[in-house]
Structures are given as C-alpha cells and as structure tokens.
C-alpha cells in the first residue's frame, strides 16, 4: 500500500511538472489559457500581477475542502498536493527563462502546450488527483442537476475560455480553444492509454469465416451470439469481440475481405475487467 502511494505521488509530481512547463514556458507567455480554475488564475494573474502560483492555491483551496467533505480524503489530499507542487514548479526561474520556447509562434504554443498540459493533467487524474476545482463541483453537482461531469465542466469552460477574448484578445481566445481541445484529447489518451478498448458486433452471412480470420490474424477471441432478424424473422449469428482501437482498421479489412455486405458496430468500452486484456479476452 505504501509503495502504491509513493508511486502515485511520484507520478502526480511528474504530471504537475509537465503542466507547469506547458503553462509557464509556452501558454502564459503567448496569452493562451486553459479551462477551469487554471484559466481563471492565468487571467487573474495577468490583471493583478500577482504570481500565478499564489492565485491557483487561493482559488482551489475551497474546492478541495469541499472535495474532502464530499468525495474523500485521499482524493482531496492528492489533489491539494498536486496544486501545491504546481505552484512551486510555476515559480521556478528556469521555466521563465527558456526564450526559445517563449518566442515560438502562438499556434505552435497552443498545439504543443496543449499536448504537454494534457499529458500532465492525465497523469494527475490517472493517479488519483485533480488540478481543477471545477471538476470537483461537477462531480458533486452531477447527481443533483442530471448532467454528466463532462457537460458541467464544458459549461464552465465556455465562459472561461470566452473570457480570454475580453482579457487578452480574440486571437488568444481562439488559440486557447485549440489548446484546450488538444489537452482534452491528450488527457483521454493518458488515462485510457493507446490500448483503449472497443467492443465490436458483426452481423454477416459468413460468421464462421470471419470468426476464424479474427482469431487467426488478430489473436482475439470471438463470442457467437444468436438472435433473430426483426424483418426477416430468420435466425442470425452475431459475432462479438473486444479489440484495441489500434486494431479497428485491421478488423474492418478482415470483415470486408470475407463479406463486403457485413454490418459492423463499434462502440467504446469505458471499463474492462477480468480476463486476458491483451489477447483472446473473449471466448
């Protein structure tokens, strides 16, 4: 347990270093903001000339107290640790003195800043913490309002990212939106990994041939489900398997070779438990 806690704190620290680098070396010098409390802190720092680290600590403190009461102490402590480390890393003179980074084109700052920021935030979330108080409010509010956490966070961020147009200029707002979108995608990759799972259902007149090809060429197990067509009332075999998203294109080629008229339904798998997650996971 102690070892797991140590590794969690280590990766949260690495994640906050990524975030601090993205913000201080790429985004803030180019007046590009992130969403949530971090974005508010960047704009408040610009207008008040108070260091970003102090503002991010002050703005997040009440949110983490709420998280401690409503969600759990482990989450709250790890989140508070992440914010403190971000404040400390943001004050490092080294991050403010990399002129080659700070003088890049704004579009490059938005793209690479968003990538690095997303990697850092993804690590923090993956190991049990958070950097943004709006996520805590969203988690608590979703039960009462009926909206998903993502929908509530997006609602907040529409106003926050739009505010960059008034505080800086509208080019900054547009660059901020690009950075936010890239960071959002990178967070998904860091949390779920490149081996994100997809479930596939295949309806074909040649189920045996397709099943054998998937097992032989992808090394994935296939489950045969049995149903009945609603229009023809004929019995049908439906193939079901779990693959990684990197294998989706190859599976489509396999199915097309065996039956160009086959119907393929691909869905995202939010969580996969049990079995061999690498190969032959479904039999």
In angstroms, the Cα distances linking 17 to 125, 185, 272 are 14, 19, 30
Domain boundary among 152, 169, 192: 192
Mean pLDDT of 100-115: 83
In a domain, 218, yes or no: yes
| Same domain for 153 and 36 | yes
Single out the residue in 157, 192, 227 at which a domain terminates. Answer: 192
State the pLDDT confidence band at 238, using cuts at 50, 70 and 90: very high
pLDDT band of 99, cuts 50, 70, 90: low
Same domain as 61, residue 126: yes
Statement to judge: residues 35 and 169 lie in one domain: yes
pLDDT given at position 79 = 86
Tell me, yes or no, whether 25 and 165 share the same domain. Answer: yes
Task: Check whether residue 176 and residue 143 sit in a common domain.
Answer: yes
**Residues 124, 152 share a domain:** yes
Q: Is 281 contained in some domain?
A: no
What total of structural domains would you count in the chain? 2
Q: Can you tell me the distance from the alpha carbon of 10 to that of 21, in angstroms, rounded to the nearest whole number?
A: 17
Residue 273 belongs to some domain of the structure: no
**Over the stretch 37-89, which tens digit does the pLDDT of each residue have?**
888 888 988 888 888 888 988 888 888 787 777 767 787 888 889 989 998 99
Same domain, 66 and 131: yes
**Do 33 and 27 contact (CB within 8 A), yes or no?**
yes
User: Where does a domain end: 131, 161, 192?
Assistant: 192
Average pLDDT over residues 214-220: 89
pLDDT for 283: 41
Q: Could you list the residue range(s) of the whole structural domain that residue 225 is in?
A: 197-268
Examine the domain organization and report whether 12 and 70 are in the same domain: yes
Same domain, 61 and 112: yes
Q: Which of 136-140, 229-233, 235-239 has the lowest mean pLDDT?
A: 136-140
Q: What is the CATH number of the domain that holds 249?
A: 3.30.70.120
Domain co-membership, 139 together with 29: yes
**What span, in angstroms and rounded, lies between the C-alpha atoms of 145 and 143?**
6
Same-domain pairing of 165 and 187: yes
In the prediction, which pLDDT does 8 show? Answer: 86
**pLDDT tens-digit readout, 126-141:** 888 888 777 677 766 7
Q: Does the residue 66 lie in any domain?
A: yes
Whole-Å CA distances, 253 to 81, 214, 222, 248? 48, 10, 16, 9
Q: Is residue 282 one of the residues assigned to a domain?
A: no
pLDDT of res. 76: 81
The H or E element that residue 8 is part of is: helix 2-21
Same domain, 154 and 171: yes
251 or 246: whose pLDDT is higher? 251
pTM equals: 0.69
């Amino acid at each position: 347990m102690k070892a797991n806690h140590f590794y969690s704190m280590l990766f949260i620290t690495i994640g906050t270093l990524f975030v601090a680098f993205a913000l201080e070396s790429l985004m803030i010098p180019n007046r590009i903001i992130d969403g949530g409390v971090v974005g508010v802190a960047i704009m408040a720092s610009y207008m008040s000339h108070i260091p970003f680290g102090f503002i991010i600590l002050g703005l997040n403190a009440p949110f983490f107290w709420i998280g401690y009461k409503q969600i759990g102490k482990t989450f709250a402590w790890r989140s508070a640790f992440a914010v403190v480390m971000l404040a400390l890393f943001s004050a490092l003179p080294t991050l403010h003195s990399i002129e080659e980074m700070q003088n890049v084109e704004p579009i490059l700052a938005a793209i690479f800043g968003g990538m690095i920021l997303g990697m850092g935030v993804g690590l923090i979330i993956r190991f049990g913490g958070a950097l943004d108080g709006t996520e805590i409010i969203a988690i608590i509010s979703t039960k009462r309002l009926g909206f998903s956490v993502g929908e509530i966070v997006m609602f907040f961020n529409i106003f926050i990212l739009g505010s960059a147009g008034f505080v800086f200029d509208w080019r900054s707002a547009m660059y901020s939106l690009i950075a936010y979108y890239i960071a959002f995608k990178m967070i998904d990759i860091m949390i779920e990994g490149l081996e994100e799972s997809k479930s596939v259902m295949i309806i074909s007149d040649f189920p045996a041939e397709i099943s054998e090809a998937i097992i032989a060429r992808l090394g994935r197990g296939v489950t045969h489900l049995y149903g009945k067509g609603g229009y023809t009332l004929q019995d049908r075999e439906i193939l079901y398997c779990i693959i990684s998203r990197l294998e989706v294109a190859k599976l489509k080629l396999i199915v097309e070779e065996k039956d160009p008229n086959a119907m393929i339904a691909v869905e995202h798998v939010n969580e996969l438990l049990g079995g061999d997650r690498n190969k032959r996971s479904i039999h």
